[in-house]
């Protein structure tokens, strides 16, 4: 956590991903904007039946975002070096505990 706005309207997180490290398939409570600072962050997109619908590789200097609904995805470092990304969420993550609404198995 780098910053949480006192009124709870947003928070800023810095994420460091080891090579191969990633998330489970999930969706979110709120919107998010992601900027990649180093490495390559791969986002795999899924529809509500968990069918793959796309892949996006984020490279340093690139920015992307999403907003529920329709934000089911998995994220991982697909490169051989550490990846670093900056995430801005539309809520105070320290108040809600996580940006994730649901994990899918």
Query: What are the residue boundaries of the structural domains of the chain, listed by start?
Result: 3-95
pTM over 0.95: no
With pLDDT > 90 as the criterion, what percentage of the chain qualifies?
A: 91
The pLDDT tens digits of the residues spanning 38-77 come to 999 999 999 999 999 999 999 999 999 999 998 999 999 9
Q: Does domain 3-95 have CATH number 2.60.120.10?
A: yes
Tell me the per-residue pLDDT of 78-88, one tens digit each, with 9 for 90 and over.
Answer: 999 999 999 99
Compute the distance between CA of residue 75 and CA of residue 70 in angstroms, rounded to an integer: 15
The Cα–Cα gap between 74 and 54 comes to 11
pLDDT at residue 98, as a whole number: 87
Task: State the chain's mean pLDDT as an integer.
Answer: 96
């Amino acid at each position: 956590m780098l910053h949480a706005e006192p009124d709870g309207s947003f928070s800023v997180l810095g994420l460091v991903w080891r090579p191969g490290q990633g998330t489970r398939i999930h969706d979110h409570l709120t919107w998010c904007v992601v900027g990649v600072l180093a490495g390559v962050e791969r986002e795999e997109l899924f529809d509500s039946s968990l069918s793959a619908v796309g892949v996006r590789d984020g490279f340093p200097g690139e920015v992307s975002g999403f907003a529920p609904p329709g934000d089911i995805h998995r994220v991982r470092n697909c490169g051989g070096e550490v990846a670093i990304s900056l995430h801005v969420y539309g809520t105070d993550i320290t108040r809600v505990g996580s940006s994730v609404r649901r994990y899918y198995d």
